[in-house]
Amino acid sequence: MRILLTGAAGFIGSHLSEKLLSLGHEVVGIDNFDPFYDRKIKESNIATAIKNTSFKLIEADLTSTQLWETLKTEKFDSIIHLAAKAGVRPSMADPIGYNNSNIMGTTHLLEYARNCGPKKVIFASSSSVYGVNKNLPWSVEDEKLQPISVYAYSKLSGEALCRLYQKYFGLSIIGLRFFTVFGPRQRPDLAIHKFVKAIDQGKTIQMFGDGKTFRDYTFIEDIVAGIVGALNYNNSEFELFNLGNTHTVSLMELVQTIEDLMGKKATIEYLPEQPGDVPYTWSNIEKSTKLLGYNPSTGIREGIGKFIEWYRQQ
């Protein structure tokens, strides 16, 4: 297949690019190299893919009309839309920026698919759309969504747009709700990366809350496998799936696991919980397992071990 991949130079996008290329697909990647973190990190992420003759990278913003004019004559079999302005806490400080990037960027992409592009779109959503729902673990079927951050609302808006474009404009769309993805190349602002770096350097780590909040951490290779499963799924015109690990880990347990694997103790500064942060996430993946063949296999200890190995090589 020939695939248009947005967010291609990011943490998930770069891993997915390499996987798609290894499967024999041709990938045209888009990334705007948002200054949210150092450009050099993304350049390092994508270095392997760029060496492949079946990969092309376009540096552009999804809200750019010039980008979509340029792609008008291109032919793709599928679009995988990973690009987004990331982060729950930063979204509370920049609602306009997040809505412009995540909602308007998605609208531009769907308009392209409607008028010029392929009819199949895979949209990267987020577990944050569930918000503070106490009905654990969360299923995609008939679950009450209670998002509490601008980022979460922007992702839920993306899902709503996808439903609309499928219903009225004949697109075939799959939405994937990712649950706390981690592994090599993880963004430097995320907890595991920050904690490993601080503990390694003997610096204090900041823990928001009492350490009892918990997350469903999902290893990057499992997420990529789920996306590939969605790419090969053609049995309905619109579906939503959870891509999680189904095993939850408390924040304190996460820190203790990192301490154990690094052989160093953490110095912890306890701070109040932050606006927009949810107290827990937990995925029900029965639907994903049944329809996508999704079967996550990397646990938190093994996954953090692989991250630490990658971190030490940098």
- The length of the chain is 314
Of the residues 98, 112, 130, 151, which is catalytic?
151
- The answer to whether 154 and 84 are in contact (CB under 8 A) is yes
Structure token pair of residue 297? 């296999």
Which residues lie across from 5 on neighbouring strands? 29, 80
The radius of gyration of the chain's CA atoms, rounded to the nearest angstrom, is: 19
User: Strand 120-126 to strand 218-219: parallel, antiparallel, or no bridges (unpaired)?
Assistant: unpaired
Whether 151 is a known active-site residue: answer yes
User: Strand 172-178 to strand 218-219: parallel, antiparallel, or no bridges (unpaired)?
Assistant: unpaired
Neighbours of 22 (CB within 10 A): 9
**Backbone dihedral angles phi then psi of residue 264, each to the nearest 5 degrees:** -140, 150
Of residues 225, 209, 211, the one with CA closest to residue 294: 225
Of residues 183, 223, 225, 213, the one with CA closest to residue 282: 213
The residues annotated as belonging to the active site are 151
